[in-house]
A = this chain, B = another copy of it.
């Protein structure tokens, strides 16, 4: 997946998504235009648009009319990022200053709402109740995930189930919906829509677990934000949950992770304890299992060339190393 060549089958449509994302900000209020444009230009891998377009391509080579859907899905994601940065008080994302750090909380809230409303407005064009409802419901689920993350900070008693429910809502559902709706609007059968929806779900789970691992082990310049950011904010992810159960230092770790002060000041020490506990290996294993489940959903889909991309993405995620 290096160079993201798995996206080659839809590269021209992805370029159009980029253009349409910027064009979607049509306000005569300069500061709103500036903040929203900054948010979009800060980039990202455009995974959700890519999944929607790839899924559409499985069922027809003509995927142009999936572009507004792809834009809408990315805008939902962008709205959640800008609100996340308010909630987490983050200064950097992907190596860029956040909207929050440049324009403050108040403008961030408005920018997020603007982008969310724009996103839902784009779905109107499909005149398809399922599309609109699924997108709106997913953005509600993302709120649910954000609140869960907020509520479970510094909570060292949370279990695996709570973690999985949270990443499902924060991440997996939107990726799942991207696959589901891309297939749906290009005339896939009900079974194929369901298979791609499940693929996206499992892949999204694997993806978020891998992302949570990276917060412990990636270099700062790959991550675009400081290593251990989650720990600093008391966000307890899978490697930490494992370590809190299995590390010989679990009592000390629980004391540190439940204290906002030590999370902030002793993050490096906490990260080292978690790495020493095999928490990273355990999380890799979990991610791998989800990616395998994703792969199994592909068995009965049409054998068209683009399916190769789905296989390769899942392989990449499950073996993701930096």
Q: Is the CB of B124 within 8 A of A139?
A: no
Q: Is A11 an interface residue (CB 8 A)?
A: no
Closest to A139 in B: B117
User: A107-115, A266-274, A306-314: which lies at the B interface?
Assistant: A107-115
- B107 x A121 contact (CB < 8 A): no
Once the chains bind, are B118 and A116 in contact (CB under 8 Å)?
no
Please give the distance in Å from A69's CB to the nearest CB on chain B.
14
Say yes or no: A144-B106 contact (C-beta < 8 A), given A113-B139, A121-B137, A124-B136.
no
* Residue of A79, A113, A127 with most partner-chain B CB within 10 A: A113
Q: Chain B nearest CB: distance from A203 CB in Å?
A: 24
A residues 80-138 in Cβ contact with B at 8 Å: 83, 86-87, 105-107, 109-114, 116-118, 120-121, 123-125, 127, 129, 132-133, 136-137
Q: Which of B79, B140, B143 contacts A121 (CB under 8 A)?
A: B140
A117 touches B133 (CB 8 A): no
In the complex, the answer to whether A124 meets B113 with C-beta atoms within 8 Å is: no
Option from B29, B31, B107, B133 in Cβ contact (under 8 Å) with A124: B133
Q: In whole angstroms, what is the CA distance A29 to B112 when docked?
A: 22
Contact A27:B132 (CB < 8 A) given known A86-B106, A86-B109, A105-B105: no
7 A/B residue pairs, CB under 8 Å, sorted by A? A27-B144, A117-B120, A117-B137, A117-B140, A118-B136, A123-B132, A132-B132
Given A79-B113, A120-B120, A127-B127, 14 more A-B residue pairs with CB atoms under 8 Å apart are A27-B140, A29-B147, A110-B150, A113-B116, A113-B142, A116-B117, A117-B120, A117-B137, A117-B143, A118-B140, A121-B133, A121-B137, A124-B136, A125-B129
A-B complex: 9 closest residue pairs judged by Cβ atoms: A121-B136, A124-B132, A117-B139, A120-B120, A114-B143, A110-B143, A87-B106, A117-B140, A124-B133
